[in-house]
Amino acid sequence: MHHPGPPQFVAVGEQLQLAPRDPDPEETYHWRVRSAPADSTLSFGDDPVVVFAADEPGTYVVELEAPDGTHELTIRAFPGELAPAGRGGEGRSGESGFSGFSGWSGVSGVSGVSGLSGASGSGSGALGAEREGEGGRPRVKLEVRVEGDEVVFEAVPTPHPESRLTADELDVEFLLDDRDRVDVDESAVEITDREVRVPVAALPDRLRVHAVAVGEEFSVADAAEVHREDLDVATDGGRPVDAREATGEGFRTDGGATADDAAGTESTGAGATGEAVRTGRLNDPPEWATDITLYEIYVRGFADDDEEADTTFEALEKRLDYLEELGVDVLWLTPVLQNDHAPHGYNIVDFYDVADDLGTRDDYEAFVDAAHDRGMKVLFDLVLNHSARAHPFFQDAYGNPDSEYYDWYEWQENGEPGTYFDWEYIANFDHSNLEVREYLLDAVDQWAEIADGFRCDMAWAVPKPLWQEVRDRVKSRDPEFLLLDETIPYIADFHELCFDMHFDTTLYFTMRQVGRGDMDADAVLDAVEQRAEVGFPDHAAFMLYIENHDETRYVVECGDGAAFAAAGAIFTLPGVPMLYGGQEMGQRGRRDPLAWDHARDELHAHYERLIDARQELDALRYGGGFSRVDYEANSDAVVAFRRESGDESYVVVLNFGDLPAKVELGPDVEPTDVLTDELQVDEDGDLAVESVAILPEE
């Protein structure tokens, strides 16, 4: 289906790329504005991919004429002064961390139905009221449940941490998905300030609802869905899934509830009429991905010492037992496709074939199967922003405007390709070209059949609506497929039907500064709290890391003391820990072959204890609570915080310094470290922490 996807939320002054999905470059597509605010003069040209830029606040409905019919898309445009900070709407000072239209062409996200939008809360934020206080972006979570003969979508808004507004003063706007509303009896839909109620008897085969909170700014939208359980339904990608088999890995179900169950614990129910329905939330990460230990393998180096293996994949496979014993659950392999001379593999010359120096596609699949046999999942490193300049299409296009591939790439006025950071071996794709989109989406389909998820390279440089289409395609085959974005700095809007998990780039850079002594250690708490401050919803997942293939090793830059503490940080702060190959052994070279025979036993044992602790203590896992605690220490390199779950509560102390630090905590904190099972008391009877301590709290 060529429908352009989920409805969108934007601000006046922002640009949004609109494109048909599942494009056929041989066909004709035409966009037009069906309805708009009275003073708008917006119109489109004749291109199949267009740029939407609201010129007046209000609700727009645009139409796409495609080979399979005419499709409507609703776009809610807020006044520019409500644009979240850094997104560049009118009244804002420009975009931070984005790279122009190519990198931020779909600025917001999900919702739409003509006639069902508009302010519905008790506050005035949705109407562009004057801001109050020092607040910012609110957050919202949309729950769905069955109550008697009705399905209820309930929005739970949360103010920005620095807002003067209360939750009750926030507005919430609900919009139905355009792809579903053609079959909805809108007169049967009831919208209040916090709920959407739909009779089970009035449900179409599938109904998606989107909600956004509005205060000083508007939030990242959240979404939930309901569908009839006894019918074949299409997932977001338009591919049919038999709902009778859609359980467990077959369909995302977390987040729904029946009338008799607690919200978020059950996903099927039936109205009084006996009609079975299934509910679910659409922006939660796969359950399996939230409590994992992730491990990055630099494929041309991790097992480079193996001189007996016939292929690199065979050598990697022989190291799987080591990784399993370490406690690794998920492997991220750097790119495995045909590439130019660069060993990192990100300069791709063939998006459909495995690199000859690594092995064959069969060898790659055998490696993935071997990982699966050990209970591990594998992430494929997906590159959609660019190709290598050595790619045959670019070679044909360079300096040749008559080439059939010339329009595949962005070009500068001097005839050189568009790129970032003056990278000389890559060329940016032009994602407004339907042939480019088809080419890349076909590659997505091919590799999604093998992998369990994608680590998405340079996600910030690819239009957001394209990521939303990628998500729909892969989730239609496997709703538990993981999407992890590399975005520097991270972008809260990318959690809106794009990615399940995000690189916590803020925490990464903070821990580098703390490790070097340029910041006090309590800055790591500020970094964690910044997630909510920039608008990430509470259900967003984050990958925590201190090393990767692009950066100097942490131990080299920051030293041993900080390295032990930083290891503790990524396993005890909220998020999913990631190790870069050799990090646990004290590897000093960024991309050198691993020095397996020179592993540091003390550091390796430290990581083993941390992995075990996170697996054993619910408080350290995805659902565990996080809060600050009162503490005193004789060093600014020390920080303490609380993790808790149910009746469990622990105070974690991290010391990034080179010497043991004296720490004073509350009287309810026990001095015995869960990590080492040792008493953390010095000869003076004071609590002393060398690098990491996890202390029970009564």
Active-site amino acid positions: 457, 486
Tally of residues, the chain: 698
- CB neighbour list of residue 684: distance below 8 Å, 6 or more residues apart: none
Angstrom distance (rounded) from CA 642 to CA 628: 6
Contact in structure between 418 and 394 (CB atoms under 8 Å):
no
What backbone phi and psi angles, to 5 degrees, belong to 318? Answer: -70, -15
- CB neighbour list of residue 262: distance below 8 Å, 6 or more residues apart: none
Which residues are paired to 279 by β-bridges? 226
Structure-derived torsion over alpha carbons of residues 399, 404, 409, 413, reported in degrees to the nearest 10: 40
Contact in structure between 661 and 580 (CB atoms under 8 Å):
no
Nearest to 587 by CA among 544, 543, 545, 549: 549
CA geometry: angle 401, 404, 407, nearest 5 deg: 65
Scanning the structure block, which residue is given the tokens 């890995």? 249
Contact in structure between 678 and 672 (CB atoms under 8 Å):
yes
Angstrom distance (rounded) from CA 641 to CA 525: 8
Angstrom distance (rounded) from CA 655 to CA 638: 4
Angstrom distance (rounded) from CA 92 to CA 97: 14
- Grouping H, G, I as helix, E, B as strand and the rest as coil, residue 585 is helix
Contact in structure between 6 and 109 (CB atoms under 8 Å):
yes
Q: Indicate if the alpha-carbon torsion angle 302, 304, 310, 311 is positive or negative.
A: positive
Ramachandran region, residue 353 (left: φ > 0; alpha: ψ -120 to 50; beta: rest): beta
The DSSP line for 271-334 is -TT--EEEEEESSSPPGGGTT--EEEE-TTTTTTT-SS-SSHHHHHHHTHHHHHHHT--EEEEP
Nearest to 652 by CA among 644, 49, 192, 474: 644
Angstrom distance (rounded) from CA 360 to CA 358: 7
Q: Indicate if the alpha-carbon torsion angle 244, 246, 247, 249 is positive or negative.
A: positive
Contact in structure between 481 and 251 (CB atoms under 8 Å):
no
Nearest to 389 by CA among 441, 428, 431, 358: 428
Contact in structure between 382 and 447 (CB atoms under 8 Å):
yes
Angstrom distance (rounded) from CA 620 to CA 508: 19
What backbone phi and psi angles, to 5 degrees, belong to 447? Answer: -85, -20
Residue 142: C-alpha distances to residues 68, 154, 173, 422, 657 (Å): 32, 6, 11, 42, 43
- Mind spelling out the 3-state secondary structure of 10-66? EECCCCEEECCCCCCCCCCCEEEEEECCCCCCCCCCCCCCEEECCCCCEEEEEEEEE
Packed helices 601-616 and 560-572: angle between N→C axes, nearest 10 degrees: 20
